Amino acid sequence: SAVISQKPSRDICQRGTSLTIQCQVDSQVTMMFWYRQQPGQSLTLIATANQGSEATYESGFVIDKFPISRPNLTFSTLTVSNMSPEDSSIYLCSVESAGFTFGSGTRLTVV
Amino acid sequence: AQTVTQSQPEMSVQEAETVTLSCTYDTSESDYYLFWYKQPPSRQMILVIRQEAYKQQNATENRFSVNFQKAAKSFSLKISDSQLGDAAMYFCARLQGAQKLVFGQGTRLTINP
């Protein structure tokens, strides 16, 4: 199955700033997925990123808040913009590979 | 909403014993995939086992097996010979459509030595 390198692993950010999370996959994949896991909660899909087209966002998530880039078939970024403490969560990327494989997650704390 | 429900927020088991984690789901699809993921404190999501709904045979991966009851929309995970390294959050998930995983709320499993 694919191996995903996700970074940063954690960050503490000031409110009002933005953070960009990167995911690098060791093989070419058509779709990459971004999930949010709020404290003590389950995972919720934010958006699906296809190379060469705009990401598709789930209900409750908007591009202005979570812009996504997908410049090629092995890489994607998720930006969390204009952060507030409510954005404190674990963010994970995922690809479909022998089931769904996940990156190691980014633990974001907004203060 | 098509949901996945894990009714056990926490479970504990003695080392070397067997434990079963419950999961029920709702779907209008006839063919779909189901998964169990393990999330240790490192927060890495690790695929434990998956089941294709059209296959009647229950999936097995070493000490992990499922009891898939399609008519009842039930998908429980059995862990045999529990080990300390099995301690983690366990999430049941269903593939909705071709690409969206819908997760349950998770069950925290503790292994008592």
Q: What is the DSSP string of A74-102?
A: TEEEEEE-S--GGG-EEEEEEEESSSEEE
pLDDT at A98: 76
Tokens of A14: 């000031």
Cβ <8 Å between A43 and B91: yes
Cβ <8 Å between B35 and A99: yes
Mean pLDDT over A40-66 rounds to 93
Q: Which chain A residues are Cβ-neighbours of B103 within 8 angstroms?
A: 42-44
Phi/psi at B112 (5° precision): -95, 125
If contacts are CB pairs under 8 Å, which of residues 49-108 in chain A contact chain B?
Answer: 58, 90, 92, 94, 96, 98-102, 104-105, 107
DSSP-derived pairing of the beta strands B74-79 and B100-103: unpaired
Tokens 């954005």 identify what position? A87
Question: For chain A, what is the mean pLDDT?
Answer: 95
pLDDT digits 0-9 by tens, A37-50: 999 999 999 999 98
Q: Which of A42, A45, A99 sits opposite B105 (nearest CB)?
A: A42
The β-bridge partners of A36 are A44, A91
Tokens of B90: 């366990």
Tokens of B80: 């045999």
Closest CA to A2 of A104, A109, A96: A96
pLDDT at A52: 81
Q: Which chain A residues are Cβ-neighbours of B105 within 8 angstroms?
A: 41-42
Phi/psi at A23 (5° precision): -130, 130
Task: Tell me how close the Cα of B99 comes to any Cα of chain A, in angstroms.
Answer: 8
pLDDT at B1: 60
Residue A91, pLDDT above cutoff 70: yes
* Cα gap B104→B96, rounded to integer Å: 13
pLDDT at A51: 84
Low-confidence ranges of chain B (pLDDT < 50): none
Count Cβ–Cβ pairs < 8 Å, chain A vs chain B. Answer: 46
Q: Which chain B residues are Cβ-neighbours of A31 within 8 angstroms?
A: 99
Closest CA to A77 of A27, A3, A18, A37: A18
* Cα gap B59→B57, rounded to integer Å: 6
* Cα gap B15→B85, rounded to integer Å: 10
Percent of residues, chain A, with pLDDT higher than 90? 90
B38-A97-B59-B107 Cα dihedral, nearest 10 degrees: 20
CB neighbour class for A94 (10 Å; exposed up to 12, middle 13-18, buried from 19)? buried
pLDDT at A13: 97
Task: Give how far Cα A42 sits from Cα of A89, B6, B39, B102, Å.
Answer: 11, 11, 11, 9
